[in-house]
Amino acid sequence: MASVFSLPSSSFLCPLKTTRFRTKFQSLHSSPKPFLINSLQLKELDPNIPEPVQTFWKWLCDEGVVSAKTPVKPGIVPEGLGLVAKRDIAKGETVLEVPRRFWINPDAVADTEIGNVCTGLKPWISVALFLLREKWRDDSKWKYYMAVLPESTDSTIYWSEEELSEIQGTQLLSTTLSVKDYVQNEFQKVEEEVILPNKQLFPFPITLDDFFWAFGMLRSRAFSRLRNQNLILVPFADLTNHNARVTTEDHAHEVRGPAGLFSWDLLFSLRSPLKLKAGDQLFIQYDLNKSNADMALDYGFIEPSTSARDAFTLTLEISESDDFYEDKLDIAESNGLGETAYFDIKLGQSLPPFLIPYLRLVALSGTDAFLLESIFRNAVWGHLELPVSRANEELICKVVRDACKSALSAYHTTIEEDEKLMEKGNLSSRLQIAVGIRAGEKKVLQQIDDIFRERELELDELEYYQERRLKDLGLVGEQGDIIFWEPK
């Protein structure tokens, strides 16, 4: 399972339905003369578009990122703000291209005055410091982009204590608190080692709240793993919203192309994953593999109608106090697992294939421990894919069902109560997330419990290792009776 501290693997920003433009921006920068909104591209914009977005669009036009041929423009959409088609767009058609000089990534940081002091820092931290510094600078070339970045999102890292109490008992709560602790610890280190010793480069106060803001922007808006780029913010592209109708992530590419009147460079190229008509919103897929909890943490929204997004992670561990710890660990590692194994279980889907064998391995004891002997080492995983003994199978059922009951008891509402709240509607965006997350987790836990409850009922009907072995030796008849050979 990916670390909860890793940035999104292949994702863009969250929808802007919950964002607020930073009203403090004008106090941080000198007030420039307003642009005259007279270009063809600007006349096409909805007059209700916020002025910072109009100014940002004018900047993109002036810089040549946007032209009359660009088939999309900012628009007011149900999510708040997004990109809409100016004309019919074919599936797979390129809708925007952003030259590398506008990407915000560790390479961009390295070329600035803070590049040297950011050497050796985690990539996201160096970019976070860059964002905070550019937001503060009056002469930043990025100031029009900074003006359209939201003050916050509905990501759970921004929730109050009262709001977090609505996800009591969920794995999302524990993950959120872990992430917040992680960010706070990283801030304390970077403050002591980089910010305070280099006041000439950071002549402005950077608070923990500021650092959380930058972290949240990267968590929700960064696109990563684009060839050799491990973290990229792409102004303009990050106005694109997510939609579950998009079932592929193959829409962003790094290409070479014209980056100016007489220059060529790397371009961030975005293609439409859907066929669009004029006026339709351009959507992309942020990440097919993220659970609703991941979506809530990273982007500040969930897909309540997509059951596959509801998930629960079972964490299993080979205890160091186990008499057969070394043998079990060796077998686990030989099969791509370890001392601790994480299994993501999704609503409506079958159990992960390695879950049951790993459970049987952890539970092996007593007379079943002969399977841990070196003579079985190359074949033991194959044996674990089938029931080992009634005692072993009964134990894994009990352990899992007890864990499910314990987890379910930690929630302060029932599934039925959550569903009534959702049916009633009129929930705030954050309460809607909380209710959806806790209901989804409980449904998955109930599904897991049901699977192992049914397994308990079948214990007498299962075929165990000793029976299979006797059959292999020809010592069991067709009716399952043991054959005794009498001497001649």
Q: What is the pLDDT of residues 77-95, one digit of tens each?
A: 999 899 999 999 999 999 9
Catalytic site includes residue 299:
no
- C-alpha closest to that of 372 among 328, 323, 340: 328
pLDDT of residue 126: 97
End-to-end CA separation in angstroms for the chain: 61
Between CA 257 and CA 326 the distance in angstroms is 56
pLDDT of residue 462: 94
pLDDT in tens, 465-485: 988 887 777 665 555 555 545
pLDDT of residue 326: 96
Structure confidence at residue 407 as a pLDDT band (50, 70, 90): very high
pLDDT of residue 225: 58
In order of 6, 249, 315, 341, 345, the CA distances from 2 in angstroms are: 7, 18, 13, 12, 14
Q: Which residue has the higher pLDDT, 21 or 349?
A: 349
Q: Which residue has the higher pLDDT, 258 or 290?
A: 290
Domains 101-295 and 304-468 share a fold: no
Where are the chain's structural domains?
Answer: 101-295, 304-468
Tell me the average pLDDT of the chain.
88
CA 20 to chain centre: 22
Stretch 277-289: mean pLDDT: 95
Structure confidence at residue 487 as a pLDDT band (50, 70, 90): low
For 277, other C-beta atoms within 10 Å of its C-beta total: 9
Q: Beta strand pairing status for 283-284 and 241-242?
A: parallel
Which residue among 145, 158, 286, 358 is the active-site one? Answer: 286
pLDDT of residue 255: 84
pLDDT of residue 482: 55
pTM higher than the cut 0.75: yes
- Out of 3.30.1490.190, 3.40.50.300, 3.90.1410.10, 3.40.640.10, the CATH code matching 101-295 is 3.90.1410.10
CATH no., domain 304-468: 3.90.1420.10
Report DSSP letters for 7-19, one per residue. PPSS--PPPGGG-
Contact 294, 441 (CB under 8 A): no
pLDDT of residue 223: 85
Contact 292, 439 (CB under 8 A): no
User: Is pLDDT of 12 > 70?
Assistant: no
Residue carrying the six token digits 């194994």: 341
Residue carrying the six token digits 């070329």: 111
The sign of the dihedral angle between the CA atoms of 305, 307, 308, 311 is positive
Stretch 99-123: mean pLDDT: 94
Rg, Å, the chain Cα set: 28
Q: Is 41 helix (H, G, I), strand (E, B) or coil?
A: helix
User: Is pLDDT of 206 > 60?
Assistant: yes
Between CA 479 and CA 476 the distance in angstroms is 8
- Of all residues in the chain, the percent with pLDDT exceeding 90 is 76
User: Is pLDDT of 266 > 60?
Assistant: yes
- C-alpha closest to that of 58 among 236, 260, 257, 280: 236
pLDDT in tens, 57-72: 999 999 999 999 999 9
pLDDT of residue 42: 65
- C-alpha closest to that of 291 among 250, 359, 349: 349
User: Is pLDDT of 232 > 70?
Assistant: yes
For 454, other C-beta atoms within 10 Å of its C-beta total: 10
Could you tell me which residues come within 8 angstroms of residue 139 by beta carbon, excluding any fewer than 6 positions away?
Answer: none
Lookup: tokens for 482 = 């043991």
Residue carrying the six token digits 């270009």: 39
pLDDT of residue 30: 37
Structure confidence at residue 207 as a pLDDT band (50, 70, 90): very high
pLDDT in tens, 296-337: 999 999 998 888 899 999 999 999 999 999 999 999 999 999
Q: Is 3 helix (H, G, I), strand (E, B) or coil?
A: coil
Between CA 318 and CA 315 the distance in angstroms is 10
Structure confidence at residue 401 as a pLDDT band (50, 70, 90): very high
Quote the Cα angle for 179-143-55, to 5°: 115
Backbone angles phi, psi at 85, to 5 degrees: -75, 130
User: Is pLDDT of 21 > 80?
Assistant: no
User: Is pLDDT of 9 > 60?
Assistant: no
Between CA 41 and CA 54 the distance in angstroms is 10
Q: Is 315 helix (H, G, I), strand (E, B) or coil?
A: strand
pLDDT in tens, 138-188: 899 999 999 999 999 999 999 999 999 999 999 999 999 999 999 999 999
Backbone angles phi, psi at 293, to 5 degrees: -65, -40
pLDDT of residue 59: 95
pLDDT in tens, 347-356: 999 999 999 9
pLDDT in tens, 417-466: 999 999 998 999 999 999 999 999 999 999 999 999 999 999 999 999 98
